[in-house]
Structure 1
Amino acid sequence: MKPRSLTIVKLATPIILAMLSQSLLNLVDAALVGPLGEEALAAVGAGSYANFVALALIAGLSAGVQAQVARRCGAGQKQHCAVPVNHGIIIALLFALPVSLVLMAMAPWILQLFSQDGVVHDAAETYFRIRVMALMAAAMSLSFRGYWNGTGQPSGFLKILVVSHLFNAVVSYVLIYGKLGLPAMGVAGAALGTFLAMYLGALLNLLILFRQVKHHGFLQPFRRADWINLKTLIRLAIPDSLQQTLFALGMMLFFAIIAQLGTREMAIAHVLMNISLFLILPGIGLGMAANTLVSQELGAQKPEMATAWGWSSVRVATALLSTLSLPLLLNPEWVLGLFLHDPELVSAAKLPLQLTGVGIILDSASLVLTQTLLGAGANKTVLGIRFGAQWGFLLPVCWLLGTILGAGLTTLWVLTLLQRLISSTAFIVVWRKRQWSHIRI
């Protein structure tokens, strides 16, 4: 392996493992409630996608904190590199907590999108109410992840995630099925286990960082000069949070279009989308590693090196995602059997899952270059491309073919393939032009 690729892989591996671990929150819930039946699985799906939108509101914190931390490290200002994390915590307290309370109160109306079945709606509402109350913990954890990744120490975040997600799997199982003398809570138990795991992860991060990096400005008193840096973080986070919110809303609306096809299709789509979201995380992790490398090179005034890191990361991501997609392409029944226990559901989901495998490969450049452009400060460019591919193409065409013309699940999955191709092509063109290398943050 070439030295540049080896550097990317070494930095990205803990990030990828952390991303995969984080995605297990939803996959564990789906796997644990699967034996309860398709209605429970559909309810977890509906609640998960509604919660996905809520998380997207604060998702820009991670890339914003990471870019600021990496720039300071690249410029040799390590004594102040933890200060952006403080600002992320402030945003978690003043924005994420109130938003979670509002969304919890709005749960009945939000879940109306998935109200084809009264049982599904009620269970999904309960699941969402519990999960969304962990929004503040999620915002704090995103800020912590930005620090770990920005300083080139992603293994620190990974270790904490492993502990919290093992806790999630054990506690969720106990609560769902009523073990150890506790009442069986079903879908609500899955949500409560995840809620507790997220707050455990945030608390562990807080304690460890306070002990290790308080001399780098962590939890220092807020000063008047910090207003400028806080405003910069907000300026970086808003476009990224907006594009991720629009992406998450698009996913939710895409799921709502599928809900028009029936509960069975909802259950299948939930599994397919979670598998897809799980497998694209290595690409995002490689992009986050590239974000750090690009940001540090830009901080050191080396745009040529920043460009090279981006292209090398795309090549590594394409090779890795092609390998990870092989089980989806060659043995889809085995993959689906982990989540679906009805042979008819497995048969209906086989071809869409294979299309998902092809789409993940096509998405490689988009996944990586999204993160590198965020590190360079080109957040508005990312917003424009992601919005155009999803809201300008995918959702209108899916609505037309699925809702009006009655196309099936497979047809809608072909459209997601085309969306990914459009998005990757656009990002490659932008990266090649290099206008992003002149942005200052």
Structure 2
Amino acid sequence: MTPERRRDILRISLPILGGMTSQNLLNLVDAWMVGGLGANALAATGLANFLNFMAVAGLAGFASAVQALTARRAGAGQVATLAEPLNGGLLLSLLMGIPLALLGMMLAPWLFAVLNPDPAVAAEGVPYLQWRLAAVMAVGMNFAFRGYWSAIKQTRVYMFTLVGMHLLNVVFSYCLIHGLFGLPRMGTAGAGLGTSLALYCGTAYYLFHAWRHARPHGFLAARPPRIGFVSLLRLGVPSAIQQLLFSGGFTALFWMIGLVGTTELAVANVLITITLTLVLPSVGFGIAAATLSGQALGRGDPDDAYRAGWDTFRIAVWPFILVGLPMVLVPARLLGVFLDDPAAIAIGVLPLQLIGATMAFDGLGIILMQALLGVGASRLVMAVSTVFQWGLFLPLVWLLGPVCGLGLTAIWIAMGAYRLLQAGVFIWVWQRRRWTAIQL
């Protein structure tokens, strides 16, 4: 690996890592703030967050399409049209986000009634979810901006904006939860409203910054040309479907764990929050691999595009090992930050150790999945992800959990097996290099 390649990987990935670290620290802070309201509030917001993720997943899927198209143009030197994919992504976020938000807010009470029979959980979760859904279009626009800034190696813009949003989120949410400074005391609903307000503040800053710096690249200069819009849809729709099915799978997972027990659901919420805090940085490294691979294909250099994936993992593997070790060695201490019940902590110990032990290999799978999205292989990623999650993992969870009653440990063993098998397939696909022939 050349020093220049190492600098490029770190220059792209470190701001993404910083932004995602702040995102995941915020998830922990949210869990702490809401956890003070009781187990029902914690379980409710965990389920609501995945329902909200389902609502925004389709829009989030277009971020990889924006990045892939922009990176190819950057590699080919097409500077004047770099922002055309971004324009398309913003337009799609508005056209799809507004009806999605309205539909989701109307269906929120029914969704909670179906997914969790406990009325106390629904009472906490429905208003929280409705306030979160009010920002669906803002989330879609923010993801489109992330794809653009990542593709042109300006990820610091993403990091600073995200950190600012998170700081505002903590202030807004805490004040609205507890009714400080004359604001109404809204409980869990205040946490949802505070998050949405912070998201819209971030969108406003993205628009302001892009208007100042991206107009030479065609930002909002004209409606995206038909062929560019078709390319955005061709790449984005499979990615959007994959994201939607992935988030829907986690919602189904929470529903099945809820059938096992409310305590197990609360523990699962904490486990996934910790997992995202420590694993999602692999998405940051994956975004770096996607940008470098996409730009290399734009230059007509498929060998360099292939090396970018493995070079990125060579740098990322050490952070994966470092963050996985505490999960293996002191799992009870980590769980004790969020859970007071010794029985609940005991339920989560072995699942958390499994997450830490498999983190490096799972991280490699995530990096190569992002790299495949960056070179335009979104249909393949959709197929692999859907088959393993919906065809293998979720039926196995239903059998192990609600049917056989084997508990949370058995469910997490199944999750580890599914993630490792999926990672193995992405490694095999990357090694075959058939993706180098994809034309965008």
Question: What range describes the TM-score normalised by the shorter chain of this pair?
Answer: over 0.9
1:141 aligns with 2:142: yes
Query: Structure 1 residue 77: deviation in Å?
Result: 1.1
Deviations 1:307-347 (A, max 9, x none): 01111122323322111111111111222122222233222
Query: Which residue does 1:188 correspond to in 2?
Result: 189
Query: Structure 1 residue 21: deviation in Å?
Result: 2.6
Please identify, of 99-108 and 285-294, the stretch whose mean Cα deviation from structure 2 is larger: 99-108
Instruction: Write the mapping of 1:108-187 to structure 2, written as runs, cut at 5 A.
Output: 108-187=109-188
The 8 Å contact of residues 276 and 360 in structure 1, kept in 2 or not, is answered as: no
Deviations 1:63-106 (A, max 9, x none): 11111111111111112111211111110111111111111111
Query: Which residue does 1:288 correspond to in 2?
Result: 287
Query: Which residue does 1:249 correspond to in 2?
Result: 248
Taking only aligned residues, the RMSD between alpha carbons, in angstroms, comes to 1.4
Query: Which residue does 2:20 correspond to in 1?
Result: 19
Deviations 1:267-291 (A, max 9, x none): 1000101111222211111000010
CA distance in 1, matches of 2:236, 2:24: 21
Amino acid at match of 1:22: Q
Query: Structure 1 residue 120: deviation in Å?
Result: 0.3
CA distance in 2, matches of 1:342, 1:59: 36
1:367 aligns with 2:372: no
CA distance in 1, matches of 2:166, 2:236: 26
CA distance in 1, matches of 2:98, 2:391: 32
1:215 aligns with 2:229: no
Give the secondary structure class of the aligned counterpart of 2:54. helix
Please identify, of 325-334 and 105-114, the stretch whose mean Cα deviation from structure 2 is larger: 105-114
Give the secondary structure class of the aligned counterpart of 2:69. helix
Query: Structure 1 residue 49: deviation in Å?
Result: 1.0
Give the secondary structure class of the aligned counterpart of 2:215. helix
The 8 Å contact of residues 67 and 291 in structure 1, kept in 2 or not, is answered as: yes
Query: Structure 1 residue 43: deviation in Å?
Result: 0.8
CA distance in 2, matches of 1:316, 1:252: 33
Deviations 1:138-178 (A, max 9, x none): 01101111111010010011111111110001111111112
CA distance in 2, matches of 1:97, 1:160: 23
Query: Structure 1 residue 24: deviation in Å?
Result: 4.4
Aligned length: 439
Query: Structure 1 residue 123: deviation in Å?
Result: 1.5
1:80 aligns with 2:77: no
Query: Structure 1 residue 362: deviation in Å?
Result: 2.6
Query: Structure 1 residue 116: deviation in Å?
Result: 2.6
Give the secondary structure class of the aligned counterpart of 1:106. helix
CA distance in 1, matches of 2:317, 2:106: 43
1:36 aligns with 2:37: yes
Amino acid at match of 2:271: L
Deviations 1:90-139 (A, max 9, x none): 10111111111111111122223432310101211111111011110001
1:440 aligns with 2:435: no
Deviations 1:15-54 (A, max 9, x none): 1112233344543321211111111101111111111111
Instruction: Write the mapping of 1:182-331 to structure 2, written as runs, cut at 5 A.
Output: 182-222=183-223, 226-331=225-330
Query: Structure 1 residue 7: deviation in Å?
Result: 3.1
CA distance in 2, matches of 1:360, 1:202: 32
Query: Structure 1 residue 2: deviation in Å?
Result: 5.9
Deviations 1:172-202 (A, max 9, x none): 1111112223232110011011010111111
Query: Structure 1 residue 394: deviation in Å?
Result: 0.7
CA distance in 1, matches of 2:326, 2:178: 31
CA distance in 1, matches of 2:11, 2:94: 34
CA distance in 2, matches of 1:22, 1:236: 26
Query: Which residue does 2:50 correspond to in 1?
Result: 49
Query: Structure 1 residue 355: deviation in Å?
Result: 1.3
Query: Which residue does 1:67 correspond to in 2?
Result: 68
The 8 Å contact of residues 254 and 395 in structure 1, kept in 2 or not, is answered as: yes
Please identify, of 299-308 and 46-55, the stretch whose mean Cα deviation from structure 2 is larger: 46-55
Q: TM-score, normalised by structure 1?
A: 0.97
CA distance in 2, matches of 1:28, 1:200: 20
The 8 Å contact of residues 141 and 201 in structure 1, kept in 2 or not, is answered as: yes
CA distance in 2, matches of 1:375, 1:95: 23
The 8 Å contact of residues 148 and 156 in structure 1, kept in 2 or not, is answered as: yes
CA distance in 2, matches of 1:95, 1:386: 24
CA distance in 1, matches of 2:105, 2:188: 17
The 8 Å contact of residues 359 and 416 in structure 1, kept in 2 or not, is answered as: no
The 8 Å contact of residues 60 and 144 in structure 2, kept in 1 or not, is answered as: no
Query: Structure 1 residue 402: deviation in Å?
Result: 0.8
CA distance in 2, matches of 1:239, 1:430: 17
From the superposition, tell whether residues 153 and 400 of structure 1 become closer, same or farther in structure 2 (CA, over 3 Å).
same
Q: TM-score, normalised by structure 2?
A: 0.97
Query: Which residue does 1:386 correspond to in 2?
Result: 385
Amino acid at match of 1:432: Q
CA distance in 2, matches of 1:202, 1:287: 24
The 8 Å contact of residues 26 and 48 in structure 1, kept in 2 or not, is answered as: no
CA distance in 2, matches of 1:143, 1:332: 36
The 8 Å contact of residues 116 and 255 in structure 2, kept in 1 or not, is answered as: no
Amino acid at match of 1:147: Y
CA distance in 2, matches of 1:191, 1:421: 34
The 8 Å contact of residues 320 and 360 in structure 2, kept in 1 or not, is answered as: yes
**Which 5+ residue runs of structure 2 have no aligned equivalent?**
none
